[in-house]
Amino acid sequence: MGNINIGVIGYGYWGPNLVRNFMELPDAEVKMVSDFRSELLAKAQARYPTIQVTTNCQDIFNNPEIHAVAIATPVSSHFDLALAALQAGKHVMVEKPMAVSSEQGQRLIDEAERRQLILMVDHTFVYTGAVRKMRDLVVNKTIGDIYYYDSVRVNLGLFQHDVNVIWDLAVHDLSIMDYVLPSQPYAVSATGMSHVAGKVENLAYLTLFFEDNLMAHINVNWLAPVKVRRTMIGGSQRMIVYDDLEPSEKIKVYDKGITLNGNANSENMYQMSIGYRAGDMWAPYLEVTEALRAEGAHFVDCIRTGDRPITDGHAGLRVLRILEAATESMKQHGKLVKLNLAEVAA
């Protein structure tokens, strides 16, 4: 097989990044870009004269030279476009979240598997050097048993018209957790609020519960005065601070924590003393390849080999089910909603 030819649907915010990274890969080429806004297509063609442009995405589905489709459109359109692409025999990479419901997500998985096509969800953070390093630290037990995952992901805007702040911002942390943490949550509680009449929630707090005394907390907000992208993972041996806005040392590992000393007295009563450990901090080396380039290369490689993508449809479906449960919980002012992610293939 020669170059993998790709069609990109949507050339607004994320589409130009997709086109640029696919065009820079040695074994891939963007053949066609679709968007209903002619002025955006003019920009694409001015920058990449070899690319064909169209206001009708059906032209991409009907083109026999195109092997794969990347979808960067509003969430409400993901399912219809991805399903049409799969039915046209194209491999699919769809922006997060993959659909607006777990039912739609499952239908896309079934369609891709029936046709033996690659279905990949654009969980971009999974392909960053920082998140991959966090996974290594967790898998290799460098930080010991995991106690908590705590994230703040806030900024001023950008208000979305078709999804609330959970589906816009928390989806990033849920995809990171799905990749990094050793287990899946069994329940979620969420609270949120809208401060614009008739609009979706613009701030929310999620708490996820896992087995083995592990919990996660996510704070997302479109009304914060500053942009914050900071995550802490606490372990029994060490702790991680991940600051995505840091220009160089995005990951810092702290040799800090508590030490438990248990002693049994003569009456067989168990007494526990807690000591505190404060050691060194170190910033590990991180891969500097742009995440979207690494992701695009992985997508192309999976098309060639038939391997299962790291962020395949099942990963996207697990995230969707948490988003749905969190939305249900938020409507009931934080009521605990049970999850069953075990039935979603790992």
Helical axes 171-180 vs 129-139, angle rounded to 10°: 40
**Cβ-count burial 176-186 (b if 16+ within 10 Å, e if not):** bbbbbbeebbe
Region 35-42: mean pLDDT is: 96
Sequence-ordered alpha helix ranges (H) in 25-62: 38-47, 58-62
Q: DSSP for 286-330, please give it.
A: ---S-HHHHHHHHHHHHHHH-PPPTTBHHHHHHHHHHHHHHHHHH
Helical axes 171-180 vs 313-331, angle rounded to 10°: 130
pLDDT at 209 over 70: yes
| Calpha distance 216→209 (Å, rounded) | 7
Structure tokens at 268: 């067989």
44: left (phi over 0), alpha (psi -120 to 50) or beta: alpha
Q: Contact 192/207 with Cβ under 8 angstroms?
A: no
Q: Which of 82, 153, 154 is nearest to 112 (CA)?
A: 82
Q: Contact 148/234 with Cβ under 8 angstroms?
A: yes
Q: Which residue has the tokens 């064909």?
A: 52
Amino acid 1: pLDDT: 67
Residues 236-288 have pLDDT tens digits of 999 999 999 999 899 999 998 877 776 545 454 455 677 787 889 999 999 98
Residue ranges and CATH numbers for the domains of the chain are: 4-124+291-309 (3.40.50.720), 126-287+321-338 (3.30.360.10)
Residues 6+ apart with CB under 8 A from 84: 57, 58, 61
Residues 6+ apart with CB under 8 A from 281: 252, 253, 254, 255
One-letter amino acid for residue 146 of the chain: I
Structure tokens at 63: 């083109």
Amino acid 274: pLDDT: 77
**Mean pLDDT score across all residues of the chain:** 93
Amino acid 269: pLDDT: 45
Provide the pLDDT confidence category of residue 161 given band limits of 50, 70 and 90: confident
Structure tokens at 107: 């239908």
pLDDT at 90 over 70: yes
Say whether the peptide bond before residue 309 is cis (omega within 30 degrees of 0). Answer: no
| Calpha distance 148→153 (Å, rounded) | 16
Q: Which secondary structure element, helix H or strand E, spans residue 20, and what is its range?
A: helix 15-24
Burial class, 288, CB count within 10 angstroms (exposed 0-12 / middle 13-18 / buried 19+): exposed
Residues 136-160 have pLDDT tens digits of 999 999 999 999 999 999 999 877 7
